[in-house]
């Protein structure tokens, strides 16, 4: 028995299925400087939340942990590193969100366009009945973007866009930089707790308590219950003790959650690129009909030719070199 996907392809091969006379002419193309942006309420909310979470991490790292520290070199080094990674993460997010992922011209399944393809006997074209466009090979329709996207991997609400042929590099960089700042934030929180709890916060109030576990438990209870700040030195935080502990715990939870999520997503994307098989193709178990390339070549197709530091730069548009162009005719 034929699969549902195979039956759909067989229907698309029938001459009467295309019906180019039912397609309206494609809308006029805008200027090359027109920004791509999906007006999806859920995606916009998720994108705003992403930026707010990064800003929250910035606030806690800079003003709660680094700014009050006495060691200027320590604060300067970690501040520059964290802020640089956060800036690259937000820049990658913006590029992934505002870059056309590879949308097929909508409504181009017209009689004139099909005739311009100069089909030969035996050649077929696929039409998307939802957006009335001629689909290139390996393109899929996105119900959120309402367009067919070339080499579509998935639609990500966190970047309010599809991840496709033209913006996969920026999405991979976004997941990588978010994972890095999450790990950095967790390391700073751990070091801050050890430094302040062991040396500063305990020295003025709990040195007489012999049991260190009991001392720390009692100290945390007083922090959260009474807000006693008599033993809080300026080099640990400019905020009250309860506020500092709560801010650090929330940052720790956020960093751990997003470290796991983005690290897994980063690994999944790199594997998908190296195998040259998108997430949708893996999910649908589509038959592989495209030319198989080496893993290194697949990486260069996404990040650009040749290998350079521009691979890590979200502002550098990748040069696909001699990458295969996804044709309308198969």
Q: How do residues 137-157 score in pLDDT, each as one tens digit?
A: 888 999 999 889 999 999 999
Which of 55-59, 73-77, 290-294 ranks highest by mean pLDDT?
A: 55-59
Task: Tell me the percentage of the chain whose pLDDT exceeds 90.
Answer: 43
23-32, 104-113, 123-132, 162-171: range with lowest mean pLDDT: 23-32
- What are residue 237's phi and psi, to 5 degrees? -170, 150
Longest CA–CA span in the chain (Å) reads 92
Mean pLDDT of 278-289: 80
Cα separations in angstroms, 163 against 175, 211, 283, 292, 327: 12, 54, 15, 21, 19
Total-model pTM:
0.79
192-229 residue pLDDT tens: 887 776 554 444 444 444 444 444 554 555 454 444 44
Cα 134 from Cα 4, distance rounded (Å): 20
26 or 258: which leads in pLDDT: 258
Residue 44 has pLDDT above 90, yes or no: yes
Mean pLDDT of 310-315: 94
Per-residue confidence (pLDDT) for residue 55, from 0 to 100: 97
Residue 21 burial class via C-beta count within 10 angstroms: exposed 0-12, middle 13-18, buried 19 and up: exposed
In 3-state terms, what secondary structure has residue 158? coil
Residue 116 has pLDDT above 50, yes or no: yes
Mean pLDDT of 250-269: 96
Per-residue confidence (pLDDT) for residue 230, from 0 to 100: 42
In 3-state terms, what secondary structure has residue 33? coil
Per-residue confidence (pLDDT) for residue 234, from 0 to 100: 43
Mean model confidence pLDDT for the chain? 79
H or E segment to which residue 140 belongs? strand 139-142
- State the alpha helices, DSSP H only, in 72-167: 72-98, 111-116
Cα separations in angstroms, 195 against 72, 73, 234, 239, 254: 16, 16, 13, 16, 21
Which residues are marked as active site?
A: 156
When pLDDT is cut at 50, 70 and 90, the band that residue 15 belongs to is: very low
Which phi-psi region, left, alpha or beta, contains residue 312 (left: φ > 0; alpha: ψ -120 to 50)? alpha
Mean pLDDT of 325-330: 44
Cα 152 from Cα 268, distance rounded (Å): 15
Cβ 97 vs Cβ 89: under 8 Å: no
């Amino acid at each position: 028995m034929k699969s549902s996907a195979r039956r759909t392809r067989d229907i698309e091969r029938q001459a009467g299925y295309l019906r180019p006379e039912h397609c309206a002419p494609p809308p006029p193309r805008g200027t090359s400087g027109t920004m791509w942006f999906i007006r999806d309420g859920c995606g916009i909310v998720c994108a705003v939340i992403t930026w707010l979470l990064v800003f929250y991490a910035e606030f806690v790292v800079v003003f709660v942990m680094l700014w009050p520290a006495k060691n200027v070199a320590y604060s300067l080094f970690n501040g520059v590193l964290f802020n640089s990674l956060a800036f690259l993460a937000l820049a990658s997010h913006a590029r992934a969100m505002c870059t056309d992922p590879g949308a097929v011209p909508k409504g181009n399944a017209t009689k004139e366009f099909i005739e311009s393809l100069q089909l030969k006997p035996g050649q077929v074209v696929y039409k998307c009945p939802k957006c009335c466009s001629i689909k290139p090979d390996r393109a899929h329709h996105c119900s959120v973007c309402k367009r067919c996207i070339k080499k579509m991997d998935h639609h990500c609400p966190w970047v309010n866009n599809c991840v496709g042929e033209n913006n996969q590099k920026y999405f991979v960089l976004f997941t990588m930089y978010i994972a890095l700042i999450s790990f950095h934030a967790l390391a700073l929180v751990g070091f801050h707790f050890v430094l302040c709890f062991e040396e500063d916060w305990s020295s003025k109030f709990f040195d007489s308590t012999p049991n260190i576990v009991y001392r720390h438990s009692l100290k945390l209870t007083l922090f959260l219950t009474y807000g006693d700040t008599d033993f809080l030195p300026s080099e640990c935080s400019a905020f009250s003790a309860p506020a500092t502990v709560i801010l650090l715990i929330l940052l720790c939870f956020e960093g751990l959650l997003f470290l796991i999520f983005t690290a897994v997503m980063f690994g999944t994307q790199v594997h998908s690129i190296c195998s040259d098989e998108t997430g949708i193709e893996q999910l649908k178990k589509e038959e592989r009909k495209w030319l198989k390339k080496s893993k290194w070549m697949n990486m260069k197709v996404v990040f650009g030719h040749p290998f350079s530091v521009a691979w890590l730069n979200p502002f550098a548009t990748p040069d696909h070199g001699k990458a295969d162009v996804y044709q309308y005719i198969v």
